[in-house]
């Protein structure tokens, strides 16, 4: 049974996708929103160069329909970040990316104050401040009078919007990519709980700021650290692993149609065998596409042990892995 896709934003301001041949429904704001299905999501992703399976298309469909973030886990290089990038294009959502790292805090993720600008304004208004405080008789009175006007210096004029707040303040729905959340710590996850539950940011000097348009939020994790249950509860969960043979071939064919089918099949089958080796860094889909690009540039027509030996840098990323791949090529491609 087909379901219909609605905009994740709380305020509908226009169509999600320009799908002229679909029926529409009237949103509360009066604008018409195209009714699209899970199949349409898959087709749009394919048109954007991303070959999705049913689980990926369904997760995207539900996230848009329910207004919930997606937590995507999987090995590095399988297309987690790539999915967000393609979605921003096919949905016509501005991509706002937050790259996580150890020690990231609200000053880099949510908001900060432009202290230099505040100081500059203070210096420029020094004469006005002197006049304003001239009626006070002691330091306590000057401080009390000045504190009554501190909201002037802690207003939106001096607020630096970091990625999360910038996505909330966007005039149109955006795609907020919180990349590699597993690189951050527990404290940062705690900061996200309010943001992802109620789509709001609490700023002590200004109060609570609600999202103008609820963004589509995608969090990615390489699984290097366990994400808390509290954060997981606020998200739909999607695991993207290595694709099955047919889908990996389709991914290569979309990106590098100049490669002959036989070569594409041989290289994908070889890489799938390589992943079964005890490597420090097994080749992922990103390595598959890099290798396909290399073979295309070199105009390779057949995969041989010599070709593998000359292009090993596209497959293996550690010195200890090189002999493992060479030995497999000698046994499998001779």
Percent of the chain whose predicted confidence (pLDDT) is above 70: 76
Q: What is the pLDDT of residue 159?
A: 82
- Residue 209 has, within 13 A of its CA and on its CB side, a CA count of 21
User: How crowded is residue 238: how many other Cβ atoms within 10 Å of its Cβ?
Assistant: 21
pLDDT value of residue 56: 95
Q: What CA–CA distance (Å, rounded) separates 315 from 284?
A: 9
Which residue would you say has higher pLDDT here, 29 or 237?
A: 237
Mean pLDDT of the chain: 83
Confidence at residue 160, expressed as pLDDT on a 0 to 100 scale: 83
The Cα 183–Cα 253 span in angstroms is: 33
pTM for the complete prediction? 0.79
Do residues 206 and 156 lie in contact, with contact meaning Cβ atoms separated by under 8 Å? Answer: yes
Cα-trace Rg, the chain: 26
Instruction: Between 154 and 36, name the one with better pLDDT.
Output: 36
Domain 24-106+169-239 falls in which CATH fold?
A: Rossmann fold (3.40.50)
Residue 118: is its pLDDT beyond 90?
no
Summarize the confidence of residues 301-317 as an average pLDDT.
Answer: 95
Strands (E), the chain: 24-26, 32-34, 70-73, 95-99, 111-113, 159-161, 175-179, 200-203, 207-210, 216-221, 236-239
pLDDT bracket for residue 189 (50, 70, 90):
very high
Confidence of residue 32 (pLDDT cuts 50, 70, 90): very low
**Between the CA of residue 165 and those of 44, 82, 96, what are the distances in Å?**
28, 23, 10
pLDDT tens digit sequence for 252-293? 999 999 999 999 999 999 999 999 999 999 999 999 999 999
**What's the CA gap between 60 and 69, in Å, rounded?**
9
Phi and psi torsions of 113, nearest 5°: -105, 140
pLDDT the model gives residue 194: 85
Question: Where along the chain do its domains lie?
Answer: 24-106+169-239, 111-159, 245-332
């Amino acid at each position: 049974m087909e379901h219909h896709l609605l905009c994740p934003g709380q305020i509908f301001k226009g169509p999600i996708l320009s799908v002229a041949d679909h029926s529409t429904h009237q949103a509360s704001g009066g604008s018409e929103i195209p009714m699209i299905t899970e199949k349409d999501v898959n087709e749009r992703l394919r048109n954007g160069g991303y070959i999705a399976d049913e689980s990926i298309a369904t997760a995207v469909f539900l996230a848009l329909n329910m207004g919930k973030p997606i937590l995507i886990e999987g090995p590095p290089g399988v297309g987690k970040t790539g999915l967000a990038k393609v979605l921003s294009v096919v949905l016509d959502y501005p991509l706002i990316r937050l790259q996580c790292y150890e020690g990231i805090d609200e000053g880099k993720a949510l908001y900060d104050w432009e202290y230099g600008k505040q100081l500059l304004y203070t210096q420029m208004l020094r004469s006005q401040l002197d006049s304003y405080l001239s009626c006070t008789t002691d330091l306590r009175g000057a401080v009390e009078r000045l504190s009554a006007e501190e909201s002037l210096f802690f207003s939106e004029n001096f607020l630096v919007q970091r990625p999360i707040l910038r996505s909330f303040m966007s005039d149109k729905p955006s795609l907020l990519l919180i990349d590699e959340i597993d690189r951050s710590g527990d404290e940062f996850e705690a900061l996200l709980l309010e943001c992802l539950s109620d789509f709001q940011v609490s700023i002590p000097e200004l109060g609570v700021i609600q999202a103008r348009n609820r963004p589509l939020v995608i969090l990615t994790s390489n699984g290097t650290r366990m994400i808390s249950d509290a954060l997981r509860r606020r998200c739909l969960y999607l695991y993207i692993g290595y694709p099955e043979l047919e889908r990996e071939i389709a991914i290569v064919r979309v990106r590098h149609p100049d490669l002959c089918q036989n070569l594409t099949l041989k290289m994908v089958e070889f890489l799938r065998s390589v992943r079964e080796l005890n490597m420090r860094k097994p080749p992922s889909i990103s390595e598959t596409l890099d290798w396909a690009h290399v073979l295309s540039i070199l105009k390779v027509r057949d995969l041989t042990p010599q070709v593998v030996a000359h292009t090993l840098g596209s497959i293996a990323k550690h010195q200890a892995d090189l002999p493992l791949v060479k030995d497999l090529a000698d046994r499998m491609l001779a």
